[in-house]
Chains A and B, each alone.
Chain A
Amino acid sequence: MADSILTTENVRLYYGDKEALHGFDLDFPEKGITALIGPSGSGKSTYIRAINRMHDLTEGVTVTGNFMFKGNNIYAPTTDTVELRKQIGMVFQQPNPFPFSIYDNVAFGLRIAGKTKKVELDEIVEKSLKQAAIWDEVKDVLHKSALSLSGGQQQRVSIARTLAVSPDILLLDEPTSALDPVSSHKIEETLMNIRNDYTIIIVTHNMSQASRISDRTAFFMDGNLIEVSPTTQLFTDPKEKQTQDYITGRFG
């Protein structure tokens, strides 16, 4: 794809000698939401963690293949992983706010990056919380501990924290699986709000979530990418029988 912001080719990942991702290609156009679905152990979470080099921290994991982000090799020895993870941010399954105030959570990455001017921080904190659709709920309690919020609110603060450092790509690893339907719905709304500003890659077990919010869906199984299609196509007329069996619940 000409306007891909991220291209990955011949992606392989090994735990020791054991190959867990078996060499596939997947590109991401700039902006929009791509959902990654598939059973546990299919490799979808493993894959997105490879995109921002989260596996670097795990002993015995080897990643091979080409990972190009805006024309730069993600796995080049010269890549600054801290900078990389700012540009390709990650939100996890369990909301993980720091035990600081809401404000300090969102400002954290900015301060690390050397931004200290209060006016500037105020502005970005507000903007990020608005993008994460939680500003109205927290604007009067910005100095309350983030841990005092509900799970769904904490997750939106986590998203705001990630957005504050202006990433290009937002990776989300089952961001709503620990949340109830109402909170999940707010997260989905948040993602819909920002889909035109960021490239969003979301791993989800919730197939209706994938069909509701994503532009493209990729189906993984046993460490292989089986199919990537526009979401409307994948959920009405998938190319592969394996995809069809999975999304219709024929697991047997």
Chain B
Amino acid sequence: MLENEALNTDNAPLRNIYRFGEDAEIALSTHGLRVFYGDNEALSEGDLEFERYKITSLIGASGSGKSTFLRSLNRMNDNIATVKGQIMYRGIDINSKEVDVYEMRRHIGMVFQRPNPFAKSIRDNITFALKQRGMRDKAKLEEIVETSLKQAALWDQVKDDLGKSALALSGGQQQRLVIARAIAMKPDILLLDEPASALDPISTSQIEDTLLELKEKYTIVIVTHNMQQAARISDYTAFFHLGKAIEYDETRKIFTRPKVKLTNDYISGNFG
């Protein structure tokens, strides 16, 4: 018989949050995270841990708090909202005032829904921030351009056109360029906010391939509306509902036997 973990609809636990064992390497964790837009609490009790070199998906309806949560992780909400609680990265609370946000974002990069390359050449898109930080060594810059584009699975398609405008690329290629730009900064953690929702299935599949390659070296947290995408590529999935993480577990478990009825209804498209 299969393990007896049938969904209990009558006495379903309100929440079911996965806790990693002692030996798991945690790249990032949140403690009592609460986000307010004015007086309006958009997110509460986001206590989640993210394992290193894994892909974690955040799913849930619009307004469930998943993007708010993601954006809080590298302080994108600083000027829009009040973010309370701790975000622990390498033993430091990066949600504290003392933290240099720009430095922190070198470690925790973000890729958005709409590809947003700079109106510059493909090469300059990648070297821009590095040059800003004072890197002048041409050979070194070229090397980073190549490795970043290779990691983002774009190198073969653009290596002969590095001087071409990034805006001439297709949507899917632009998105991979943006990912290359993010990894050129050698971050630890890559946050992605619906990176494929503006793309067609083929480009989406290329982005997914890229992410599967990248997880060898990076910890990835991705917000997606595409449940099949979460199912296909992520190791862990967190389901958000009304500003709370309701269930967080191995993706396989979430999609075959979730423990919370709300999760079950959402992933099976039973939206009431």
Please list the residues of chain A having a beta carbon within 8 angstroms of any beta carbon in chain B: 39-40, 150-152, 177, 179-183, 185-186, 205, 207-208, 246, 249, 251
**Any A CB within 8 A of the CB of B186:** no
User: Given contacts A40-B170, A181-B271, A185-B269, could you give 12 more A-B pairs where the C-beta distance is less than 8 Å?
Assistant: A39-B201, A40-B200, A152-B62, A177-B197, A179-B62, A180-B61, A181-B225, A181-B266, A183-B62, A207-B201, A208-B228, A251-B201
Q: Which residues of A contact B225 (CB under 8 A)?
A: 180-181
| A186–B271 alpha-carbon span in the complex (Å) | 9
Please determine whether B203 and A40 come into contact, CB atoms closer than 8 angstroms: yes
Name the residue of chain B whose CB is nearest to the CB of A249: B205
**Any A CB within 8 A of the CB of B227:** yes
Name the residue of chain B whose CB is nearest to the CB of A181: B225
Q: Which residues of A contact B269 (CB under 8 A)?
A: 181, 185
| A179–B194 alpha-carbon span in the complex (Å) | 12
Q: List 18 A-B contacts (CB under 8 A).
A: A39-B200, A39-B201, A40-B203, A150-B62, A151-B62, A177-B197, A177-B198, A180-B225, A181-B271, A182-B61, A182-B62, A182-B271, A183-B62, A186-B271, A208-B228, A249-B205, A251-B202, A251-B206
Q: Which residues of B contact A152 (CB under 8 A)?
A: 62
**Any A CB within 8 A of the CB of B171:** yes
Q: Which residues of B contact A182 (CB under 8 A)?
A: 61-62, 271
Q: Which residues of B contact A183 (CB under 8 A)?
A: 62
Q: Which residues of A contact B202 (CB under 8 A)?
A: 39-40, 251
- Closest Cβ of chain B: how far from A239's Cβ, in Å? 20
| A40–B201 alpha-carbon span in the complex (Å) | 8
- Closest Cβ of chain A: how far from B72's Cβ, in Å? 19
Interface string of B72-85 (1 = CB under 8 A from A): 00000000000000
- Closest Cβ of chain A: how far from B272's Cβ, in Å? 9
- Closest Cβ of chain A: how far from B115's Cβ, in Å? 13
Which of A40, A177, A181, A249 interacts with B227 by CB under 8 Å? Answer: A181
Q: Which residues of A contact B61 (CB under 8 A)?
A: 180-182
Q: Which residues of A contact B199 (CB under 8 A)?
A: 40
- Closest Cβ of chain B: how far from A185's Cβ, in Å? 5
| A179–B61 alpha-carbon span in the complex (Å) | 10
In the complex with contacts A180-B225, A181-B225, A185-B271, A205-B62 CB distance below 8 A: no
Name the residue of chain A whose CB is nearest to the CB of B171: A40
Please list the residues of chain B having a beta carbon within 8 angstroms of any beta carbon in chain A: 61-62, 170-171, 197-203, 205-206, 225, 227-228, 266, 269, 271
Residue among B197, B202, B266 with max Cβ neighbours from chain A (10 Å): B202
- Closest Cβ of chain B: how far from A137's Cβ, in Å? 13
Name the residue of chain B whose CB is nearest to the CB of A176: B225
| A185–B197 alpha-carbon span in the complex (Å) | 16
In the complex with contacts A40-B171, A180-B62, A182-B61, A205-B201 CB distance below 8 A: yes
Name the residue of chain B whose CB is nearest to the CB of A208: B228
Residue among A39, A182, A185, A208 with max Cβ neighbours from chain B (10 Å): A182
- Closest Cβ of chain A: how far from B194's Cβ, in Å? 10
Name the residue of chain A whose CB is nearest to the CB of B206: A251
| A47–B198 alpha-carbon span in the complex (Å) | 20
Q: Which residues of A contact B170 (CB under 8 A)?
A: 40
Please determine whether B200 and A205 come into contact, CB atoms closer than 8 angstroms: yes
| A249–B232 alpha-carbon span in the complex (Å) | 12
Q: Which residues of A contact B227 (CB under 8 A)?
A: 181
Name the residue of chain B whose CB is nearest to the CB of A207: B201
Q: Which residues of B contact A207 (CB under 8 A)?
A: 201
| A183–B271 alpha-carbon span in the complex (Å) | 9
| A1–B39 alpha-carbon span in the complex (Å) | 61
| A183–B197 alpha-carbon span in the complex (Å) | 15
Residue among A150, A151, A180, A183 with max Cβ neighbours from chain B (10 Å): A180
| A183–B198 alpha-carbon span in the complex (Å) | 16
Q: Which residues of B contact A150 (CB under 8 A)?
A: 62
- Closest Cβ of chain A: how far from B232's Cβ, in Å? 9
Name the residue of chain B whose CB is nearest to the CB of A252: B205
| A194–B227 alpha-carbon span in the complex (Å) | 27
Q: Which residues of B contact A180 (CB under 8 A)?
A: 61-62, 225
| A185–B227 alpha-carbon span in the complex (Å) | 13
| A179–B227 alpha-carbon span in the complex (Å) | 13
